Amino acid sequence: MMQEKRGILKVMQGEMQLETIPLQAALTVIGRERTDVVLDDGEVSSSHCQIQILNGDFHLFDLHSTNGTFVNGQRIVKSRLQPGDRIRVGKTDFVFDFASDEVGKTDSNGQALDPANYLPPEASGAKEIDDIFMRERSLFLKELCIVADVTYGDGTFETLKVKGEIVLGRLVDLGAFSRDDELSRKHARFFIDDDANAWVEDLGSTNGVVVNGIKISRAVKISEQDVVKAGRCKFKIKVQPAN
Q: What is the pLDDT of residue 140?
A: 55
DSSP string, 162-217: EESEEEESTTSSSTTGGG-TTS-SS-EEEEE-TTS-EEEEE-S-SS-EEETTEE-S
Q: What is the mean pLDDT of residues 118-122?
A: 42
Per residue in 150-188, pLDDT (tens digit) is 999 999 999 999 988 899 999 988 889 999 999 999 999
Q: Number of helices (H) and strands (E), helices first, in the chain? A: 1, 21
Give, as one character, the DSSP assignment of residue 55.
T
Please tell me the predicted confidence (pLDDT) of residue 133.
54
Q: Is the pLDDT of residue 127 over 60?
A: no
pLDDT at 234: 97
- pLDDT tens digits for range 67-95: 889 999 999 988 999 999 999 999 999 99
Most confident region among 4-13, 118-127, 213-222 by mean pLDDT: 213-222
Smallest Cα–Cα separation from 151: which of 229, 243, 70?
229
For the cut 80, the answer to whether the pLDDT of residue 204 exceeds it is yes
pLDDT at 186: 93
Residue 231 near residue 153 (C-beta atoms within 8 A) = yes
Alpha-helical segments (H) within the chain: 126-142
Residues 6+ apart with CB under 8 A from 93: 11, 12, 13, 14, 86, 87
Share of the chain above pLDDT 90, in %: 48
Residue 194 confidence (pLDDT): 74
CA 9 to chain centre: 18
The pLDDT value recorded for residue 117 is: 43
The pLDDT of residue 112 is above 50:
no
Query: Residues 184, 162, 222, CA angle at the centre, nearest 5°?
Result: 70
- Note the pLDDT tens digit of each residue in 2-46: 445 788 999 987 667 678 899 876 789 999 888 889 999 989 988
- Identify the pLDDT of residue 64: 83
Per-residue pLDDT at 230: 97
Q: What is the DSSP code (8-state) at residue 106?
A: B
pTM of the predicted model as reported, rounded to 2 decimal places = 0.48
Residue 41 contacts residue 63 (beta carbons within 8 Å):
no
Enclosing H/E stretch for 50 = strand 49-54
Count other Cβ atoms within 10 Å, centred on residue 230. Answer: 27
Tell me, what's the pLDDT at 197? 84
